A and B are shown apart, each in its own frame.
Chain A
Amino acid sequence: MTRAQKAVSAAIFLFAVFVLVPWLIAATGRSDLYYTLTSVALLSIISAGVWLTFHIGRINIGQGAFALMGGYVSAILVVDYGVSFWLTLPLAGLFCAASSVLIGLPILRLRGVYFAMVTLTLTEVMRLLALAIPLTNGAKGIVSIPLPGALSVFGATLIPDFATLENPRLAFYFLAVTLMVLCFAALYRLVHSRIGRLCVSLQQNEELASSIGVNIAHLRVIAYAISSFLGGLGGAIFMAISQSIYPSSFTVTDSVNFMLNCFLGGLGYVFGPMLGTLVLYFGWDLLFETGELQLLIFSIVLIALMLVLPNGLLSLRPGKWRR
């Protein structure tokens, strides 16, 4: 695609997300869709983190751990310390990034299925941790968390107090999609810069990468930290929407789903996790009618899709946004 085509596609996307969707929802009165679409936006942010770890050649089935961690960090700061939610948002991300550096330094040396296995247990470890330590209030979780307050800079109110809003759902929708757009724009830039190509060099051959002077340990940890930052960010907003967080808010199933979102959308495309999340989320809901067969049909369709389209749904696009 040329530069102009990219700009036009981006403009159409932004128009659809910020104008068309709210207008359609207002016209049809389906305001329940706000919650669904907000979830999709947040889940795609979290999945984008998983996608980045795929990009350096690591199968990450532990993103739920960081989403849970981000949610708890934000909740504890808001409830126990009275910190503004808006400040806890980056703090939750940074806390997760810092933790992932500590966790990542040893485990990122593992490759393939070994790394996948360790990350798989991470979510469970985080759940048990949330159950065990007093700070997180055990199985009762943290509930009745206030809605995000006003955000003002130098007296000018940038974001009004969500509690005073007539429709906080709409506000959360705008918050989620704005962050989604920002995160994916940053990820797109990252992947298409030299850093992205260095990540691909890790993915394809770490020994060769280190022989050409790439500090592979450093780069791996950076990518994992960014990934966990996105996980924490998404988790924190989920906490704010549901106004509660429990040890079971993000489980191993969620971690697996984040990975599936990436597979479904396409590991070779930055926007893969976004499309994958949308299709997976709505696909699951559509199958609700089938009752107890829901999971069976869902799984069969997923397996079939992976066999037919190993490079994900975006590989169907004629004009390629490869890498």
Chain B
Amino acid sequence: MNGALLQVSGLTKRFGGLVAVNDVSFDVQEREILSVIGPNGAGKSTLFKLICSFMRPSHGGVTFRGERVSGLAPHIVARKGVVRTFQETTIFKGMSVRDNVIIAHHLRSKAGLFGFFFGSARARRDEAEFARSADEILDFLGLGHIKDELASNLPHGHLRALGIAIGLATNPAVLLLDEPFAGMNQDETRRAVEIVRGVRDRGVTVLLVEHDMEAVMRISDRIVVLNFGQKIAEGTPAEIQRNERVIEAYLGIEDETIGL
């Protein structure tokens, strides 16, 4: 499919003798929610780092809107519109919630560093626009009431949402979410699923890596399954649930966990 927003082709990453990601290819269409799943050590996190260029592939590459992004510095890939969030609670701990989101508007700034130093008219316009946009994003994610809290004081669920808020502030075309439902109870997961849908409805393509099968089956348009670094299946949730290789890979896990 040539109309794909993001194409992963023949992506391979070797660490010495270990092949963490082995010749993986798939396409991501505009405005879909695509999940990458797989047992522990299947290479999901490595794949994730390769896509947003936090790591260089040994072979193959990732193209975004027809342009190769593998090998570019992460901030340049972010500038092009492929932005990641982090697995753990990676935020700017010493800043307020609102400042976290305001600073993440960096990519949208039109003024240069000198402009910000001297407080040029353009820089002041940028600041006002960032503050307005940050408030909008925080309200959208239900963080409006705690925006003046210090980020390090937030409970877990809110931190995850803040991570997504930081990602959204960069105005991404593709947002990569690293295990957005990990460690959440059912209630929190339900809310988080709604948030991810909401993000997609804003026009952002979502690519997520996740363990929580139930949530993945509920939220994804399509699913890619990895095992031992190789892609073993790709398809809609219904197709994946019937796929024998997937069932085999998850053997030993109770059927319920993969939604059968």
Interface residues of A (CB under 8 A from B): 189-190, 193-195, 197-198, 200-201, 203-205, 207-208, 210-217, 222
Contacts and interface: CB of A to CB of B under 8 A. Distances in A.
Contact of B117 (A190, A207, A210): A190
A195 B103 contact: no
A212 B107 contact: yes
B212 interface: no
B47 interface: no
Nearest to A193: B116
Contacts of B52: 211
Contact of A194 (B90, B94, B116): B116
Nearest 7 pairs between A and B by C-beta? A213-B107, A213-B78, A194-B116, A212-B104, A204-B92, A193-B116, A210-B74
Given A190-B117, A194-B123, A201-B103, A210 B73 contact: yes
B107 A198 contact: no
Given A189-B117, A211-B86, A211-B167, 18 more contacts: A190-B117, A193-B116, A194-B116, A195-B117, A200-B103, A201-B92, A207-B86, A208-B86, A210-B73, A210-B75, A211-B75, A211-B84, A212-B107, A212-B166, A212-B169, A213-B75, A213-B107, A215-B75
Contact of B92 (A189, A208, A210, A217): A208
A214 B95 contact: no
Nearest to B151: A204
B103 A197 contact: yes
A163 B74 CA distance: 56
Interface in B107-131: 107, 109, 113, 116-117, 119, 123, 126-127
A204 B74 contact: no
Contacts of A193: 116-117, 119, 123
Contact of B78 (A197, A201, A203, A212): A212
Nearest to A203: B94
A204 B86 CA distance: 14
Contacts of B107: 212-213
A184 to B, nearest CB: 15
Given A194-B127, A198-B106, A208 B116 contact: no
**Most chain B CB inside 10 Å of its own CB: which residue of A197, A203, A216:** A197
17 contacts: A193-B116, A194-B126, A200-B92, A205-B90, A205-B91, A205-B93, A207-B86, A208-B91, A210-B73, A210-B74, A210-B78, A211-B74, A212-B170, A213-B79, A213-B106, A213-B170, A217-B73
Contacts of B11: none
Contacts of B109: 194
A34 to B, nearest CB: 33
A214 B103 CA distance: 10
B130 to A, nearest CB: 9
Interface of B: 52, 54, 73-75, 78-79, 83-86, 90-95, 99, 102-104, 106-107, 109, 113, 116-117, 119, 123, 126-127, 166-167, 169-170
Given A210-B75, A212-B170, A216-B75, A200 B95 contact: yes
Contacts of B166: 208, 212
Given A195-B116, A212-B106, A207 B90 contact: yes
A212 B84 CA distance: 8
Contacts of B78: 210-213
Nearest to A189: B117
A212 B103 contact: yes
Contact of B75 (A200, A205, A214): A214
B206 to A, nearest CB: 16
Nearest to B163: A208
A193 B113 CA distance: 9
A204 B116 contact: no
A48 to B, nearest CB: 16
Contacts of A208: 86, 90-92, 166
B91 A200 contact: no
B94 A200 contact: yes
Contacts of B74: 210-211
Nearest to B107: A213
A195 B113 contact: yes
B170 A207 contact: no
A208 B78 CA distance: 11
Contacts of A204: 92-95
A205 B104 CA distance: 12
A97 to B, nearest CB: 15
A88 B104 CA distance: 40
